[in-house]
Chain A
C-alpha cells in the first residue's frame, strides 16, 4: 500500500486548487445556486477540456488521460473544498464508472469520448422512491424489448418505463444510464435525456450546490448496456467507487471548514482575548483535527484501493464513507458553533457546507449502513479460532 503522492499528483492538486480559487469562489457558488442549470458551462468546459478533469480516469482508448482513481480523488477533494457546482459526481464518477464497469466496449466507444471531453453530461438513474442505493430489490423500473427491428439503431431495441428519484443532475444530463428490471434481472440502459418519453422534475434540494431530479419514463427508447440481467455486480463496484469519490470530496470540504473555524478563532476577540485562546474552543478544534485527519486517511486508502486493489474495494469504500460522512457533518456543525451568531446567517458560507455535509452523507449509503456492511466483512474475515487479548 502506497499512500504517498507523486510529484505529478501534487502538481495536479496545485493546478486544480488555483483554478478553483479563481473560478469557483464563494460569489460564483452563490450565483450558480440560483440558476436553473446549477453549473457554469464555461467553467465546466475549461475544467473538462482544458484541464482534462473529466477524462482523468477514462482510458486513453476512449479519449481520456488513463490516470487512476487517485488523480480523480485529488480533484474531488479540491472540488469539495471549493463547493464546486459542476456535474463532476454525476458525469465523471457515476456515469463514466458505470460504462467502464459494465464492460460494454461498444457503449464505451460511443459515450466515453463525449464524457471525457466535457461535451456530454451524464448520470446514473438508480434510486427510486425509497432512496436506497444499495438494494437491488428497491428497483421497480422495467425494460422490455421494443419488438422487431422497428426501433432501429437509435432506439436500441428496448423501452424503459417507471420512475426514478433523487437522480444527481437528472435535470441537465443528456445521457441517462437507467437501472431497470428485465425478465433476465437488473440491467442498465442508455436513455437520451431530452426525448418526450422522459419527464424531468427538478427537486428543491437542501444542498443547492448539487441538483437532483425525479425522472418518469414512459416507454422511453433505450439501449441495453452490457449483458441483460447481469448489471448488479458492476453497479455494486460503481457504488463503492462513488462512495470513495464522495468521501474524498467530504474530506476536502471538512478540511476547509476546519481551516475556517481555526482562522476565525484566531481573530475573533471576546472577553479581551481571541476565542481560540480558550480551552473550550481549542479542544473542540483539536477534536475536529482528529476527525479530519482520520477521515483523510480513510479516504486516501479508499482511493488507493479503487486504483490498485479491487479485492479490498468494498471494505475500503465502507470505511471511507462511514468515516468521512460523519467527520464532515461534525466539522460543519462545529464550525457554525465556533463562529457564533455570524455563522448562523445566510450571508456566511458556513451553512453551505453544513447542507453539503448532510446531503452528501446520505449519498451511496450513510455511515450506519456502511458500518453494518463493514461488520459483515469483518465477520467473514474472522479466523476460525477467535483471538483473545494477550
Chain B
C-alpha cells in the first residue's frame, strides 16, 4: 500500500496510460471525503436571494478550490506542463489533461481558478517577463491567488477595441487606472485581475490599448454585484478610481494591449471549448430513464442528438490534440460547446414536460439552472457571432 500522502513523482519517459494509472491511484487514496475542507459536494452556487448570500456561497466555493489546488500542488499534480522555475514540472501538455479528466471523474474541479491557471500563464509566457512569471505564477499553482478579468465595459462588449478605461503614467513609476468594467466573474474573491485599459488616445483604437496585472484589494476598487437571469450574482461591475498599478504590472509595452488580448481571448475560448464537457448526454439518458419516457422514439432521438454532439466534440478535441489541422480550432470548439449546452438544456425541458415549469423539484432544478446559464455561454469569451466571424475570416480566409 503506497503512502497516500506521497506525491506523484516525475517520470519523464512515461506514457499517458501509465501516468493516468498513477494519478488514478493518488485520487483513489486522496479524493476529498465528505465533510473535508475540500468537499466539492458542499459547493453550491445556484441562486441566492441577496448578493450577500451569494457572496458567502462564492467565498465558500473559492476556499474549497484553494484548499484543493494546494493539495494538487503538494501532490505534484498542479502545473504539470509549466516550467519548473515557475512551480511546474516541465511535463508534456497532455499530463494536465489527464489531471483534469481525473478530477471530473471524482467530482472535483479547479475551474474557479480558470483565469489564473489558463489565461494568466498563456499571456505571461507569450508577452510577459521572466520576473513577472516568477512573481505571479507560483502563487496560482499553490492556490494562494485567484484571478479575474477586467475586460468588457458598458461600451465595449463585442467591440473590445472601444475600451475607455484609462491608464495614466504617474510620477515615481507605475500607472493610475480609472474607468468602469463589467461582467467580471469572481471579482469579489480574487486577489488579482488581468486588465485592459487605454494608454493612448481614443483615435488610436486598438493601438492605444495596454494590458496590466492589477491587485484587487486596494483603495479605488469598487465591486458591485449584478444579478443575472438565473437569480445568481455571478457577475460584477467593477469601478476603478485612481487605482495604482506598479511599473512591473504592465504586460509587454504600452500599445501592445491588443496582441495580449488576442492571446488572452484565444486561451479563454480554448478553456471554454476545450474543457471537459459536462456529461450532459449521459445525464439526459438518465433523466429519460428516471421519468420512464426512454421508450418514446421522439425522446430517443433527442438523446441520440445530444450524444452525437457531445461525442463528436470530444473526438474533434482528440483530433486537435493529435495534431490534425483544424481551421480556427478555438472558435470552432467554443461554438460547438455553447450549442451543445443550449440544445441539451432545451432537450431536457422537452423530456421534463411540466416538471420544467417548476424550480422546486430536485429532478428538474439542475436542468433549469443549465437552461438559464446557457445564454451566457453563448456570450462569454466572445459571442457566437464573433466566433463565426473568426472562423470565417481567420479559419476560412474570407475577407473582413
Contacts and interface: CB of A to CB of B under 8 A. Distances in A.
Interface of A: 1-4, 262, 265-266, 273-274, 276-277, 279, 281-283, 285-287, 289-290, 293-298, 300-301, 319, 322-323, 368, 370-372, 374-376, 378-379, 382, 386-390
B396 A289 contact: yes
A319 B369 CA distance: 29
B84 to A, nearest CB: 28
The 4 nearest A-B residue pairs measured at CB: A386-B286, A282-B392, A371-B304, A375-B300
A356 B396 CA distance: 24
Contacts of A294: 309, 312-313, 316, 336
Interface string B369-387: 1100000000000000101
Contacts of A386: 283, 286-287, 289-290
A378 B304 contact: yes
Given A276-B392, A297-B312, A323-B312, A388 B363 contact: yes
B399 interface: yes
Contact of B285 (A285, A296, A382): A382
B400 interface: yes
B219 interface: no
Contacts of B300: 371-372, 375-376, 379
Nearest to B280: A389
A382 B397 contact: no
B59 to A, nearest CB: 20
A382 B282 contact: yes
B322 A286 contact: no
B305 A371 contact: yes
Given A262-B396, A277-B400, A378 B283 contact: no
A344 to B, nearest CB: 22
A300 B303 CA distance: 22
A390 B289 CA distance: 18
11 contacts: A277-B398, A286-B391, A290-B332, A296-B319, A370-B304, A374-B308, A375-B303, A382-B289, A386-B283, A386-B287, A387-B286
Interface stretch (B1-9, B137-145, B162-170, B323-331): B323-331
Interface in B245-293: 278-283, 285-290
Contacts of A287: 388
A268 to B, nearest CB: 11
Contacts of B282: 378, 382, 387
Contacts of A290: 332, 335-336, 391
Given A3-B318, A289-B328, A319-B311, A389 B367 contact: yes
B389 A279 contact: yes
B393 interface: yes
Given A294-B313, A322-B308, A371-B304, A285 B398 contact: yes
B259 to A, nearest CB: 24
Nearest to A1: B318
A30 B328 CA distance: 35
Given A289-B327, A294-B336, A375-B301, A3 B311 contact: no
Contacts of B385: 279, 283
A266 B308 contact: no
Contacts of A293: 316, 326-327, 332
B107 interface: yes
A259 B388 CA distance: 17
A323 B312 CA distance: 9
B315 A387 contact: no
Interface in B316-351: 316, 318-319, 322-324, 326-328, 332, 335-336
Interface string B110-131: 0000000000000000000000
B35 interface: no
Contact of A4 (B294, B308, B323, B388): B323
Contacts of A289: 327-328, 332, 391, 395-396
B307 interface: yes
Listed residue (B286, B304, B307, B366) with the most chain A CB atoms within 10 angstroms of its CB = B304
